[in-house]
Structures are given as C-alpha cells and as structure tokens.
C-alpha cells in the first residue's frame, strides 16, 4: 500500500475511540438485558464486532500491527451473497441441539401434558419412554417455548444456528415438505446467528492454564454471532425444527 493510500493516525485513533464507545454500549445493553434473546444485546454485539474489525484493519494498514480481537466465524465461512437484491420471500432455517440431561424430569413433564389432555393421570402412555415424552412435549409446545424453558423439561442446550435465506418468489404449499433442508443455497443466506460453547472455549483453552487474553472479543454464549453484512457463510445447515 502506498503512503498516500494509508489511513492517517487520526483515522486510527478515531477507530480506537469507536471501539471504546461500542464496548460501553455493549456492557450497558448486557446490564439492561430483558432476557436471553434481548435484541438490544444482539445489536450491541454486532456493533462492537464491526468496530473492532474496522480498528484492526486500520491499525494494520497504518502501523503493520494487529490486535488480539477475534470475531469467530466472521470470515471465510460462506461464499458471497448472490441472491436477489429485493427478495419477495424468505425461509428461516433453525437447528437447535439438546442433550437429555434429566430423563425423569422429561417424562414427568410429558405425563402432566397427557394428564391435562385426558383429564386424568393414568401413569401410562407415550410419556413412559424418553422418545415418547419428547414427542408429547414437542407436540404440545412451540420450539421457541421449548428453547426458553428447556431446563424445565430436563434438557440441556447444545449448539444452535439460525439462517435467513432469501428467494425470488414464495414456493407452492407442500413443495418442499418431503425434504425441507436439501436444497439450501448458501449464496442466498442473508444473515446467520450461531450459538456455541466453542466460542468461549477458544479463549479459555490456555496451554498453561492461565487466564485468557483480556483483549479477546468472543461471542457471548447467549447471542452467538450475527453476520448481518453476510460477509461469511458456512456449511449447509441441518435444522431440526419442522413445521407441524
């Protein structure tokens, strides 16, 4: 890069100040959060990620130095977006993984649902097996309610991802029901949001058992990553949620 094209020292300083401001806003949003999926926290996280990335680039261009900041999955994840500029339809693909942490609690909750439906508790039925209890609960509650109350149902959260895919026109009713996730085009993904403990582990896994670098910016496990600028896209998802 030529000297004429390099950012000025003032531009680098301004970018550093923007990171400081974004940090304050992110902390304030977290302190005021109204729940696990507070949109204000998501927005503040994305603003912080954008500010940190901009500062990192300017610092390197001007001084040939880098920062310890890392935004997991922000680069080289998916091909560039090539979908319609003004989509007339969209698909939301979701995968949420759970571990059955407390089978007894799971079955007990399913029995309550069966008892309420039958107006009596027979102690028999689908709720007596784990797979049967899962069918009862997911048949009774919406997936979002299961996600927000998973501990009540004896479930432990694993990784999750949400993809928003743009399309030219709405599809005909019933067209994709037999294989709902086979024809996902990664180049039509508008944005994605990931949640995974691996984002925390990347910074906690110090070889000498020491503290992680104070400067590292990782994804809060409650919000994961929001690639709102569609800069990166990953392997095709395998969502678990299905229309009922």
Helix and strand element counts for the chain (H, E):
6, 4
d(CA 72, CA 220) in angstroms, rounded, equals 11
pTM higher than the cut 0.85: no
What does the block give as tokens for 89?
Answer: 């339809």
One digit per residue, the tens of pLDDT, for the chain of length 244 reads 444 578 999 999 999 999 999 999 999 999 998 887 788 888 898 899 889 989 988 998 899 888 877 655 544 456 778 888 888 999 999 999 999 999 999 999 999 998 887 654 444 578 889 999 999 999 999 999 999 999 999 999 999 988 899 988 898 999 888 888 887 888 888 888 888 877 765 555 555 544 444 333 343 433 333 433 333 344 444 444 444 4
Beta carbons within 8 Å of 30's beta carbon, 6+ residues apart: 41, 44, 220
Question: Which pLDDT value is given to residue 218?
Answer: 40
d(CA 177, CA 185) in angstroms, rounded, equals 17
Integer-rounded Cα Rg, in Å, for the chain is 22
The answer to whether the beta carbons of residues 140 and 113 sit under 8 Å apart is: yes
What are 31-50's pLDDT values in tens digits?
Answer: 998 887 788 888 898 899 88
Is the Cα torsion angle 140, 143, 147, 153 positive or negative in sign? positive
């Amino acid at each position: 890069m030529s000297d004429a094209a390099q950012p000025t020292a003032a531009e680098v300083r301004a970018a550093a100040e923007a990171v400081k401001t974004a940090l304050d806003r992110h902390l304030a949003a977290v302190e005021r959060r109204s729940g696990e999926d507070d949109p204000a926290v998501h927005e503040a996280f994305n603003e912080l990620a954008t500010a940190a990335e901009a500062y990192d680039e300017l610092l390197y261009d001007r001084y040939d130095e880098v920062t310890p900041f890392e935004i997991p999955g922000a680069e080289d994840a998916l091909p560039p977006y090539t979908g319609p500029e003004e989509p007339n339809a969209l698909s939301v693909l979701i995968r949420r993984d759970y571990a059955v942490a407390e089978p007894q609690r799971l079955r007990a909750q399913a029995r309550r649902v069966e008892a309420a439906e039958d107006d009596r508790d027979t102690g028999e039925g689908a709720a007596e097996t784990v797979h049967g209890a899962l069918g009862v609960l997911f048949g009774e509650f919406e997936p979002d309610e299961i996600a927000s109350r998973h501990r009540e149902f004896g479930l432990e959260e694993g990784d999750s991802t949400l993809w928003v895919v743009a399309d030219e026109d709405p599809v005909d009713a019933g067209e994709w029901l037999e294989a709902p996730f086979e024809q996902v085009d990664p180049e039509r993904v508008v944005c994605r949001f990931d949640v995974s403990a691996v984002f925390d582990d990347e910074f906690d896994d110090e070889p000498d058992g020491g503290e992680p670098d104070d400067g590292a910016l990782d994804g809060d496990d409650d919000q994961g990553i929001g690639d709102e600028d569609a800069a990166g896209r990953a392997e095709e998802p395998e969502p678990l949620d299905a229309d009922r």
